[in-house]
Structures are given as C-alpha cells and as structure tokens.
A = this chain, B = another copy of it.
C-alpha cells in the first residue's frame, strides 16, 4: 500500500532530489500497479527477492535511489518461520549484496517497524532505546537495520532505516492483523458502516497517515547523511489513545459516527496492542526535518483527501 502510494507520488512530482525521474522499477511478489501519468520508463517486475539472481536483475539499471519496502507481514513471518527469514532477512541481504557486488552506491531507504521494540517499554521511548523484538518479523527488521547501517558505514550503500509509525487509516477492508481495528474503527464509520473495537479506549499507540509515510520516505531520500552516524531513525508520529481517535472521528464526522463502533473486548488483541510503543521522543528525526501530523484529526482528514471522500458525504456529519 505504501509502495503503491510512493510510486504514484514520485510519478506525480516527476522529480526526486531536484532530478527528474527517468526510470522506475517496481518489484513485488504480485504484479505491481503502474503509477498513472508517469513520463519516464516504468518496469513492472514480479519475483522472489529470496532468489539472489532476482536481486541482481533488479539493480542492473544501477538506480540512484532504492526504496526497500518488501516484506512478509508480521503474522505470516510468525506462522512460517522459514519463509519469514528467507524473505525478510535473506531478501534484504540479497538486495544489499547485489548492490555491493554491482559496484554502485545508491541512496537506500529501508522501511523498518515499531515491531523492533519489545516490552518492557517506557511510556515515551527515547532515540537511544534498545530494540528487543518479540516477533520474528521485528527480529528480521532489526537485522535489516543493522545490515543497512553496516553496508552504509562501509560505503556500499548510502542507507537509512525508517521505523515507521503504525499507518492509519489504511484504505480497504478489515484484515487479520492485530492492528486492523485502528483503521477500521475510523474507516467504517466514515462510510456509515459498523466497526468492532476489541480493546479498551485507554489503549495508546503511535500513528501516522499513509501520506505522511510516503513523505518520510521522500524526505529521507534527500537527506544529507554525512553527519548521520547510526542509520536508523525513530520517526515522529501522533501518540493517541483509542478514546482520542474516536473523539477526532466525532469532530470530523459528527457525534453519531461513534455510535457505529461496538466495543467487543478481545483479550488476545488487547494483550498484543498493550505491548506496543505508546509514544516516542524522536529527537534525531525531528532535528533532520521529519515532521508528522500534529493530531488525529489531521490523520483522518489526510485519509478523506487521499481517498477522494467528500466531507459532506459523511454520514452523521453535522451540517
């Protein structure tokens, strides 16, 4: 989802770091969607990054910038241990090795995750806090960060790992991810449909919109990395409780919109989300000019704008 939005944004602006984008290679395990209105050459490739040869073929054009977002999602990496390591760790290694052995040094943006953090966590996480993942996915992302840092230090890539906040509101339908409800309790009521809230309203987490995630990646692509040191960044976001999210929903879509949300506690989902970061103090990223939304209302409005939903069409919106 972020990859598609990123490609479209790059096609729309047509430039990156003041240079016009002449060529774009999109790669995924399923056929990538070509961005519309792109003036340059777009290559749409399908394959398995766990195959070293595939990684080499991907970088034959020696691109100036590589965005590496590809990963098996958290649930699948937990369920299929071998596949998770093969793709999330092995695939990242293959891509880095293909670049190193092809002898060019691109800006390399790696999307990491809050899943690198494990309990116990402070209420506000400083930049110096240890990554102690409690999932294979988080482990694989933390290993990716270490590799990106070391390959950068050696001059094989010019890399940055971005620990993206949880991205809401995701377009589409609810899925099996434990975090799915964070999007659905807003997205469904905005369509006039019902949603289920499986956790207490005090549950707090760290968020950014999909648009902001794309903005982070593009900002990172243009950073001066000379003084960066450690190549991993905790990013700014909005720390919000579910209660605050619902209040923002009411502000945007009217008081009635919250009536569409049914509380139905799910102890398993509550236990999982309880272990997630509540807030960060991302001093390094802020000093580097990364900026997030300032509140949850902005995150909802970003969704409406991105999805082309007219605010006047929203059920229950006060006139």
Where the two chains meet, the residues of A that have a C-beta atom closer than 8 Å to any C-beta of B are 81, 118-120, 127-134, 136, 139, 142-143, 146-147, 149-150, 153-154, 229-230, 232
- Chain B residues whose C-beta falls within 8 Å of the C-beta of A149 in the assembled complex: 132-133, 139
A230 B150 Cβ-Cβ under 8 A:
no
18 contacts between A and B (CB under 8 A): A118-B229, A120-B229, A127-B130, A128-B129, A128-B130, A130-B130, A131-B131, A132-B149, A132-B229, A132-B230, A133-B149, A136-B150, A139-B146, A139-B149, A139-B150, A142-B146, A143-B146, A143-B147
10 nearest CB pairs, A to B: A139-B150, A132-B230, A139-B146, A128-B130, A130-B130, A143-B143, A142-B146, A143-B146, A136-B150, A128-B129
Copies of this chain in its oligomeric complex: 2
- Chain B residues whose C-beta falls within 8 Å of the C-beta of A136 in the assembled complex: 150, 154
Q: Kindly state the separation between the CA atoms of A131 and B147 in the bound complex, as whole angstroms.
A: 13
Cβ-defined partner of A133 (8 Å) among B118, B129, B143, B150: B150
- Chain B residues whose C-beta falls within 8 Å of the C-beta of A134 in the assembled complex: 153
Cβ-defined partner of A146 (8 Å) among B119, B120, B133, B230: B133
Using CB atoms, name the residue of chain B closest to A153: B134
Cβ-defined partner of A129 (8 Å) among B119, B130, B146, B232: B130
- Chain B residues whose C-beta falls within 8 Å of the C-beta of A139 in the assembled complex: 146-147, 149-150
Q: Kindly state the separation between the CA atoms of A119 and B128 in the bound complex, as whole angstroms.
A: 11
- In the complex, how many angstroms separate the beta carbon of A212 from the nearest chain B beta carbon? 24
Using CB atoms, name the residue of chain B closest to A230: B132
Q: Kindly state the separation between the CA atoms of A132 and B153 in the bound complex, as whole angstroms.
A: 12
- Chain B residues whose C-beta falls within 8 Å of the C-beta of A130 in the assembled complex: 127-131, 230
Q: Give 19 new A-B contacts, CB below 8 A, not counting A128-B129, A146-B146.
A: A81-B154, A119-B229, A127-B130, A128-B130, A129-B129, A131-B131, A132-B229, A132-B230, A132-B232, A133-B146, A133-B149, A133-B150, A134-B153, A136-B150, A139-B146, A139-B147, A139-B150, A143-B146, A143-B147
Q: Kindly state the separation between the CA atoms of A142 and B143 in the bound complex, as whole angstroms.
A: 8
- In the complex, how many angstroms separate the beta carbon of A265 from the nearest chain B beta carbon? 26
- Chain B residues whose C-beta falls within 8 Å of the C-beta of A229 in the assembled complex: 118-120, 132
- Chain B residues whose C-beta falls within 8 Å of the C-beta of A131 in the assembled complex: 130-131
Q: Kindly state the separation between the CA atoms of A128 and B146 in the bound complex, as whole angstroms.
A: 17
- Chain B residues whose C-beta falls within 8 Å of the C-beta of A230 in the assembled complex: 118, 130, 132
- Chain B residues whose C-beta falls within 8 Å of the C-beta of A118 in the assembled complex: 229-230
Q: Kindly state the separation between the CA atoms of A230 and B232 in the bound complex, as whole angstroms.
A: 21
Using CB atoms, name the residue of chain B closest to A132: B230
Q: Kindly state the separation between the CA atoms of A129 and B131 in the bound complex, as whole angstroms.
A: 9
- Chain B residues whose C-beta falls within 8 Å of the C-beta of A143 in the assembled complex: 143, 146-147
- Chain B residues whose C-beta falls within 8 Å of the C-beta of A81 in the assembled complex: 154
- Chain B residues whose C-beta falls within 8 Å of the C-beta of A154 in the assembled complex: 81, 136
Which of A127, A129, A136, A150 gathers most chain B CB within 10 Å? A150
